Structures are given as C-alpha cells and as structure tokens.
Amino acid sequence: MGRLVEGRWVDQWYDTKSTGGAFKREDAGFRDRIEAGGRFAPDSGRYHLYVSLACPWAHRTLILRKLKGLAPHIAVTVVHPHMLDQGWTFAEPEPLYGYQHMHQLYTHARADYTGRVTVPVLWDTQEQTIVNNESAEIIELFNSAFDGLTGNTSNFAPAGLREAMAEINQLVYDDVNNGVYKAGFATEQSVYEQACRSLFEALDWLEGLLAQRRYLLGEQVTLADWRLFTTLVRFDPVYHGHFKCNLKRLEDYPSLLGYLRELYQWPGVADTVNFQHIKQHYYYSHDTINPTRIVPLGMGPDLTLPHRRETR
C-alpha cells in the first residue's frame, strides 16, 4: 500500500510515528458536486463509479446507487480485494483506459497529485477527471442530483432531519465508522485502548437508542442508517478479530443485530454485500496486522433470519 507524492507512487504504510501511534485519516482530494447547469451536470452514462466491495466507505455509494435507481445510469468497476504494494488494482484492466492500478486514474485526473489513493471514486468520462472521492458527499449527490433523470424521488436526507442527522453522523463517524480503524491501526497500547473503549461506548448508546426507535432518526431510514450499516455488517466477521474490537460482538447487541438484519434485508441491499471480498481484503492486505494472511473462517451472524423490528 502507498500514496502518490507529486504524481509519483510511493509504497508506504500509514505513518503513525508522527502522531504518537494514532491513525489519522487524510481528507479526500476531489470535492466537486453534480448539479444541473454546473460543470458536472447530471446525465445518464456520463459518470463511472470505482469501488472496492470490501470498503465500508465505498459500500455506502453502492447502496445509494441501488436504492436510487442509478444502476442503469452509473456503471461500476470493482477493484481486486487485495490492496498490496501498488495499492488498489484491477483484476482485469479497467474499462475506460485499460489501467491496472487505481493510482493511474488519480494521476490521469491530476498529474501532480499528492495524497492517498482511495475508493470510492466518482469519475466523469466527459472531462476525464474525478468529480468526488469522498463517500459522504457522493451519497448526498446520489440522493438527489439525478432525480430528474431517474424519477426516483425517495429522499434519505429530508430537510427536517438534516440537523439531527449531522449530529448523529459525527458521533457514528468518529467512534464507529472511523473508530474501528483507529483501534485497528493504532500502534500504541493506550491509543488502541481509548479508541476501543470509545467505540463500545458508542455501540452501547446506539443499542439503547435502537431499542426505542426503529431507525437512527425515528420512523424513516436516512443516510445516517446506511452509513452505520456498512460498519455493522463488517463487525463480527472482521473488526472484532482483525481490528481487535473485541469487548463484545455485534451478536451480543439484540437491537443492533435486529437493525442490521432489517437493513440487510432491505430490497437490493444484500446484493451490495460481498463477504468474500470483505474478509479477503482486510485479512490479506494488512501485512503489519496479519502477516500470515490467514483468513479466519467465521462469517458473523446469519443476516437472513427474521429481524423482528416491526414493533419498534
């Protein structure tokens, strides 16, 4: 794994020395929007989505693409689950340029790019550049920018819930979505312990909330739920063991487990979950955490069982 420095690929692991053993995530480098009349206008077939099926951030974009009926309009290319010395690579050369590595797309977009080469990437085939590589923003775009094209007006970010959603997103991001990474990539005992404790405090709190409410913000599924879902679905098969998030299993939280099952069973969502890629990616790619590359057998809870959430 590595990063681009002024357009040159450099093979290096996360630098935790300069941060006292803590993993600090870099901000995404491409942050444009899609809007009618703008530089990037909504259009069928113009945009291409690059994802890893293992990645929880990319997973959000796949879910929104599915739920918003964008599949016929935005094609997807999936990277190989193993992220090794060249970073993300394509099992087959990718369809637009025949590239073998994700970093080639980044330097195609910006020849002197400096930063991490991450998925998801929303690519514009017209301007031949990256529109956006921040999943939180890509799902916002998918939620509304193409409605005129698809006629799909289901809204996962209603105006009246925006403020509450931003608040819960912040907590879920810091302590859960990114929390598992902070625990897993820590290289100092105390930093790991703090991240792990904050993660389980947040899960305990969410368990209480979801005992009362069907979804994070009440009766309606929102982006906040899909953002939490992609971490929960990876929890027992990967984060519990690989990232040492093992004070409890997700299976030990009855409300979170039922909630996870309900979201998994939402029409179209199970098709976006690929446990083979999820397990292969983490256990095989993180040399410093699992040098033997043995992939454990456990699959986590059966998500197809009844969720029993109707009465919430």
119 is in an annotated binding site: yes
61 is in an annotated binding site: no
Its sign, for the CA torsion 8, 14, 273, 198, is negative
Among 120, 184, 237, 258, binds ligand GSH (CB under 6 A): 120
Give the residue with the Cβ less far from ligand GSH, 86 or 220. 86
Q: What is the DSSP string of 80-142?
A: -S--BTTBSB-SS--TTT--SBHHHHHHHH-TT--EE--S-EEEETTTTEEEE--HHHHHHHH
In sequence order, the 6+-apart residues with CB closer than 8 A to the CB of 159 are none
Active-site residue flag, 181? yes
Compute the least distance from the CB of residue 193 to ligand GSH, in Å: 23
Give the residue with the Cβ less far from ligand GSH, 222 or 285. 285
Compute the least distance from the CB of residue 19 to ligand GSH, in Å: 15
Residues 40-99 that bind ligand GSH (CB under 6 A): 52, 55, 57, 87
Among 28, 74, 183, 206, binds ligand GSH (CB under 6 A): 28
**Is residue 298 helix, strand or coil?**
coil
Contact 191, 20 (CB under 8 A): yes
Does 283 contact ligand GSH by CB under 6 A?
A: no
Contact region for ligand GSH (CB under 6 A) — 16-24, 103-111, 113-121, 286-294? 113-121
Give the residue with the Cβ less far from ligand GSH, 3 or 261. 3
134 is in an annotated binding site: yes
Query: What's the token pair of residue 198?
Result: 């904050």
Active-site residue flag, 196? no
Among 22, 51, 62, 119, binds ligand GSH (CB under 6 A): 119
Identify the residue whose tokens are 């999820």. 278
Name beta bridge partners: 76.
49
88 is in an annotated binding site: yes
Query: What's the token pair of residue 126?
Result: 């017209």
Q: Considering the candidates 99, 173, 181, 284, report the single residue annotated as catalytic.
A: 181
Query: What's the token pair of residue 242?
Result: 């690989």
Give the residue with the Cβ less far from ligand GSH, 177 or 255. 177
Q: What is the DSSP string of 257-276?
A: HHHHHHHHHSTTTGGG--HH
- Summarize the annotated binding site as residue ranges: 88, 116-119, 134-135
Catalytic residues: 55, 181
